Amino acid sequence: MKPEEPRVPGQIYVAPPDRHMIVDEGSALLLRGPKENCVRPAVDPLFRSVAESYGPAAIG
């Protein structure tokens, strides 16, 4: 996966070591943000970004 890549329906994305994956305006982004719960990648930034992007239409 490139640092920013449009999402494709049916495609599975896995964050590489040392990068958080977030969703923003239809793209998956890889960021080297601070560790969360002592880990990177962490699922918290991903779910938080999905909730911010899609609100009540989000499914986790």
| d(C-alpha 33, C-alpha 20), whole Å | 7
Higher per-residue confidence, 33 vs 1: 33
Residue 29's CB is within 10 A of a number of other CB atoms, namely 18
pLDDT reported for residue 60: 74
pLDDT reported for residue 1: 54
pLDDT reported for residue 28: 86
Quote the tokens at residue 57: 């239409």
pLDDT reported for residue 25: 78
Q: pLDDT (tens digit, 9 = 90+) per residue, 3-57?
A: 566 778 888 889 999 999 998 877 889 999 999 999 999 999 999 999 999 899 9
